[in-house]
Amino acid sequence: MKLNPFEKKLVQHPLRFWLQNHVEAPLLTSMMPKPMPSCERALEIGCGFGNGIQLIREHFGAGHITAVDIDAEMVAAAQSRWQARPQGVKGLSFSVADATLLPFANSEFDIVFDFAVFHHIPDWQAAIKEVVRVLKPNGYFVVEDLYRAAICNPLSRRLFEHPQQNRFNHSELLTVMRQAGFEIVRDRNAFNLAGMVLAQKVLR
Ligand SMILES: C[S@@+](CC[C@H](N)C(=O)[O-])C[C@H]1O[C@@H](n2cnc3c(N)ncnc32)[C@H](O)[C@@H]1O
């Protein structure tokens, strides 16, 4: 589900970028094994305005990043933001794609990132299955997302547009990830409002 105009403003606010780079990124990287495993080929689902790309480059050392979003406006904005930067779009690919139907081959990526996307996807369980499919064996999945309690309440309903059915909390997310073929390496649960998960695709 695409963002409403208010949430579009919010996700590209400099404060959101600051929080992502200075609070979320250190918390997420602290969950990764040391030394950092190879993140040569990275995929970001729901890239929005493209700030996650900076985080993935700087904190995870990704070689090539593929960034997708269901909203063509977001993809165009992310692409032009990166074109305007000194590093440019070298090592980056952008495309419009639905996380529940990813246009990639099996086992294509070393690492996949979800920064606040699943809570927008009606069938988020299908998106998890797609992430397992496109990850290499032993590949990592980094998730940072919002839970039912954060989005299914009168204030959030008034301000934003999120699916209200089939939402999830921290333990429900972990259960579905395990069933799909992930081992949970580390996780953090912030009062069942939001959480972070580092998962690894289990060899079967
Ligand atoms: C809350 S924004 C987060 C954007 C970005 N990841 C960030 O952290 O700033 C959620 C993003 O997910 C995208 N999205 C929603 N449903 C999607 C789907 N099924 N597949 C891919 N992207 C989706 C939206 O268009 C939006 O850009």
The residues spanned by each domain of the chain are 5-15+39-201
**Pocket of ligand 1 contains residue 150 by CB under 6 Å:** no
What integer pLDDT is reported at residue 85 of this predicted model? 87
**Pocket of ligand 1 contains residue 180 by CB under 6 Å:** no
**Pocket of ligand 1 contains residue 3 by CB under 6 Å:** yes
Backbone angles phi, psi at 148, to 5 degrees: -45, -50
Q: Do 25 and 187 contact (CB within 8 A), yes or no?
A: no
pLDDT in tens, 102-143: 999 999 999 999 999 999 999 999 999 999 999 999 999 999
Q: Do 46 and 131 contact (CB within 8 A), yes or no?
A: no
**Pocket of ligand 1 contains residue 67 by CB under 6 Å:** no
What integer pLDDT is reported at residue 88 of this predicted model? 79
For 72, other C-beta atoms within 10 Å of its C-beta total 11
The stretch 43-53 carries a mean pLDDT of 96
- Counting from 1 in the atom list of ligand 1, the atom nearest the Cα of 44 is 6
For residues 12 and 192, the model is more confident at 192
The CATH number of domain 5-15+39-201 is 3.40.190.80:
no
**Pocket of ligand 1 contains residue 51 by CB under 6 Å:** yes
> Nearest Cα to 28, choosing from 139, 133, 145?
145
**Pocket of ligand 1 contains residue 76 by CB under 6 Å:** no
Q: How far is the CA of 144 from the centre of ligand 1 (A)?
A: 12
- Counting from 1 in the atom list of ligand 1, the atom nearest the Cα of 114 is 6
Q: Do 196 and 187 contact (CB within 8 A), yes or no?
A: yes
User: Which protein residue has the closest C-alpha to ligand 1 atom 24?
Assistant: 2
- Counting from 1 in the atom list of ligand 1, the atom nearest the Cα of 144 is 8
Task: Report d(CA 23, CA 199) in Å as an integer.
Answer: 20
The stretch 16-24 carries a mean pLDDT of 92
Average pLDDT along the chain: 95
- Counting from 1 in the atom list of ligand 1, the atom nearest the Cα of 98 is 20
**Pocket of ligand 1 contains residue 24 by CB under 6 Å:** no
Q: Do 82 and 88 contact (CB within 8 A), yes or no?
A: yes
Q: Which residue is listed with tokens 């979320």?
A: 24
91: left (phi over 0), alpha (psi -120 to 50) or beta: left
With bands split at pLDDT 50, 70 and 90, how would you rate the model's confidence at 93? very high
Residue 168 structure tokens: 């999830």
Task: Report d(CA 170, CA 153) in Å as an integer.
Answer: 17
What integer pLDDT is reported at residue 1 of this predicted model? 86
Residue 6 structure tokens: 């208010």
- Counting from 1 in the atom list of ligand 1, the atom nearest the Cα of 74 is 27
What integer pLDDT is reported at residue 204 of this predicted model? 63
Q: Is the pLDDT of residue 87 over 90?
A: no
Helices 124-134 & 170-180 angle (0-180, nearest 10): 40
Alpha-carbon torsion, ordered 153, 157, 161, 162, to 10 deg:
20
Q: Measured between alpha carbons, how far is residue 65 from residues 47, 89, 108, 112, 117 in Å?
A: 11, 10, 12, 10, 17
